[in-house]
Structure 1
């Protein structure tokens, strides 16, 4: 019996298969095979969410990843730029994507696999800062931190994100594989300048319960939902009055 050729399958079967694959694999492997595949991919697939993130343990051939990203950035993203509403990038893919980010419908950005130094370096990048300051309403940052987060740099990182994210309504700020979580103990309790007047939803990992009090001391005027993972419950060292409405 002859083998089944994927090219001979009906559109319904092909779309089912394509939807089960990672969209990046679809772009790299199937775009350009024939005009029929291209029409199915670009006209019928749900391609509003682009996950351009490559976990380091899977990157054995950097030149191969460069080739994939170059093809996607130069030949594919310009064809679907008006469809993209969400995008996920890491420090490596940012180098390729930064110069082609021109997505008028984009509202959600996820930055994954960042270290303290790389997030500090890439946030002021013109493409990223312009996105955050001009249109981004949803932001997810997932730090993969190998060294301890200090009391000094915790608020600086967080405040920098809020400084650039002028229109943020939803912020998720996580740390993966870190030796410690964010702490806001060094925040100046006398200076309660509003950090964001637009943020409605905040999900964050923090060090202790005092950090919750610092986050709820009036710096977020529009905050309506707060999801917190606390690293440890310890005796409070805060001088915030816990009996007043925060």
Structure 2
């Protein structure tokens, strides 16, 4: 190669596309469209434009709308050229209406909404909403909500009735729902004012990722209102004795993936968590992150095998990070090592075990067992 500079347009299509993929798609589309026919063709490639993120990330990792100048260009010029290719779209609440009204999106099936408020959410789900048809066609929805309730304009119970019920009523093709943030935590769905199955249910949901307040909320999610659900990933604030009778709960043969991550320590491993997991005979992937207190025996590999693994013959992946803390410690644990964990878990196809026993001068003992990727 001589000393002459290689111009951008001298590169083959394959190399140009490779460069495009290393840049943000918004920047590529904003900078290159309308430069010349060749760059237009490459930038509008169906595979390159099937996913479009029309948000920016601030220094503190908050999602914001594009600057007005860029948004004007996208809505008036760029989106009309690629709208028929877009399958997944990321928007911010303040600009979503304008973006979704800029053109039709016949192939759109995944919508990611950032920083949406209760009022805006309900507004766009209304029958007279100009974009309600978008919600009716999508199969995947991710909501990232603001961290407050607007009590002055709408009651929390109204959010339950109007928000969740309306969501599942409108989005009848929805198969995957992911909710991040306080507004749609589901933590007040179903406590004293539990919504009936007919009011808040879906026969199309197969994957649900949510935060809830209590274990009762989690049990309500598994009471049959989502009868086709195969995956449930739930973060629960606290696991205490539930008001619902776990013994009367039905089996969950459709559920094959489950993740449970309580934020607070619990004393209900034996009375709540184990009976809940026993309802999942066809489990294939399980993730447990638990901090258990006041249990007569530590939760080690033998306990996990007896309580969980042996009851899930189809399980192929088991990830866990479990700490047991108690004031009474069986002295046999002074001589304990990883033998039990290895015998009952590694031989069962669940390798990479970390097992540790700590004893403190105040008599408290702590047993920690975890698997990769929780091992540090």
TM range (shorter): 0.7 to 0.9
- Which residues of 2 match residues 65-84 of structure 1 at below 5 A? 65-84=67-86
Q: Confirm whether residue 243 of structure 1 aligns to residue 236 of structure 2.
A: no
Larger radius of gyration between Structure 1 and Structure 2: 2
Partner of 1:139: 141
Answer yes or no: is the 8 Å Cα contact 1:151–1:185 preserved in 2: no
Q: Confirm whether residue 123 of structure 1 aligns to residue 128 of structure 2.
A: no
Task: Give the drift of 1:127.
Answer: 3.8
TM-score normalised over the length of structure 1: 0.82
Matched residue of 2:45: which SS?
Answer: helix
Task: Give the drift of 1:212.
Answer: 0.4
Q: What is the CA–CA distance in structure 1 between the aligned matches of 2:41 and 2:194, rounded to whole Å?
A: 58
Answer yes or no: is the 8 Å Cα contact 1:42–1:80 preserved in 2: yes
Do the aligned partners of residues 139 and 163 (structure 1) sit closer, same or farther apart at CA in structure 2, a change above 3 Å counting? same
RMSD between superposed Cα atoms in Å: 3.0
Q: What is the CA–CA distance in structure 2 between the aligned matches of 1:147 and 1:123, rounded to whole Å?
A: 18
Matched residue of 2:86: which SS?
Answer: coil
Matched residue of 2:234: which SS?
Answer: strand
Answer yes or no: is the 8 Å Cα contact 2:145–2:183 preserved in 1: no
Task: Give the drift of 1:72.
Answer: 1.4
For structure 1, list consecutive stretches of 5 or more residues without a partner in the other structure: none
Q: Confirm whether residue 109 of structure 1 aligns to residue 111 of structure 2.
A: yes
Partner of 2:16: 14
Partner of 1:163: 169
Q: What is the CA–CA distance in structure 2 between the aligned matches of 1:242 and 1:102, rounded to whole Å?
A: 47
Task: Give the drift of 1:181.
Answer: 3.9
Partner of 1:92: 94
Q: What is the CA–CA distance in structure 1 between the aligned matches of 2:89 and 2:159, rounded to whole Å?
A: 26
Partner of 1:36: 38
Partner of 1:185: 190
Q: Confirm whether residue 226 of structure 1 aligns to residue 228 of structure 2.
A: no
Q: What is the CA–CA distance in structure 2 between the aligned matches of 1:9 and 1:205, rounded to whole Å?
A: 48
Task: Give the drift of 1:218.
Answer: 2.0
Task: Give the drift of 1:85.
Answer: 1.1
Do the aligned partners of residues 191 and 44 (structure 1) sit closer, same or farther apart at CA in structure 2, a change above 3 Å counting? closer
Do the aligned partners of residues 27 and 35 (structure 1) sit closer, same or farther apart at CA in structure 2, a change above 3 Å counting? same
Matched residue of 1:210: which SS?
Answer: helix
Matched residue of 2:112: which SS?
Answer: strand
Higher RCO (CA < 8 A, seq sep 6+): 1
Q: What is the CA–CA distance in structure 1 between the aligned matches of 2:157 and 2:68, rounded to whole Å?
A: 36
Matched residue of 1:118: which SS?
Answer: helix
Per residue, is there more strand in 1 or in 2? 2
TM-score normalised over the length of structure 2: 0.56
Per residue, is there more helix in 1 or in 2? 1
Task: Give the drift of 1:27.
Answer: 0.9
Q: What is the CA–CA distance in structure 1 between the aligned matches of 2:184 and 2:175, rounded to whole Å?
A: 26
Task: Give the number of aligned pairs.
Answer: 238
Q: What is the CA–CA distance in structure 2 between the aligned matches of 1:39 and 1:105, rounded to whole Å?
A: 19
Answer yes or no: is the 8 Å Cα contact 1:146–1:179 preserved in 2: yes
